[in-house]
Amino acid sequence: MMSWEHFDHGADIGVRGYGASPAEAFGQAAFALTAVITDPATVNPKVAVHVACEAPDLELLLVDWLNALIYEMATRKMLFGRFAVRIAGNTLQGEAWGEAVDRARHPLAVEVKGATYTALRVEQNPAGLWLAECVVDV
């Protein structure tokens, strides 16, 4: 099985990550977020950006994590292609590696306005695999 995928939502798009832990699933969901915007394979992980979030529960933490990445991409004009996430209680520390947007090399589709609470789920399936997903507004 792929470790991330998109799912359909009317006008917008859903991002879904899988992993052995919530942190791993969050990292894969971030990869799915990049794939909404461009082909993640074209993004060189040259520069690291640190992100920290805190939220009352894991689901809201996912939205905060994705929104923090959206903010960093928007203000730095960067794309990210590699992620590392650590979750302890209600806090998240993450690294995103990427590079500046380059229209010649990155096939761009659409910018993401924000991660939403729609179809928001962070849960473990009976086989022990974690899933982290929500719809993003484009």
Binding region for another protein (CB under 8 A): 6, 8-13, 37-38, 56, 60, 63-64, 67, 70-71, 74-75, 77, 101, 103, 107-111, 113-118, 120, 135, 137-138
72/78 Cα distance (integer angstroms)? 7
116 touches 48 (CB < 8 A): no
Q: Which is nearer to another protein, 20 or 47 (CB)?
A: 47
For the chain, first and last CA: distance in Å? Answer: 26
In this structure, are strands 114-115 and 130-137 parallel, antiparallel, or unpaired? antiparallel
Q: Which is nearer to another protein, 56 or 126 (CB)?
A: 56
Shortest distance in whole angstroms from residue 82 CB to another protein: 19
48/65 Cα distance (integer angstroms)? 15
Q: Which is nearer to another protein, 21 or 76 (CB)?
A: 76
Shortest distance in whole angstroms from residue 107 CB to another protein: 6
15 touches 131 (CB < 8 A): no
Q: Which is nearer to another protein, 24 or 33 (CB)?
A: 33
Closest C-alpha to 74, from 48, 31, 111, 40: 111
Shortest distance in whole angstroms from residue 40 CB to another protein: 13
Shortest distance in whole angstroms from residue 99 CB to another protein: 11
Shortest distance in whole angstroms from residue 26 CB to another protein: 17
Q: Which is nearer to another protein, 24 or 136 (CB)?
A: 136
Secondary structure element (H or E) that encloses residue 130, with its range: strand 130-137
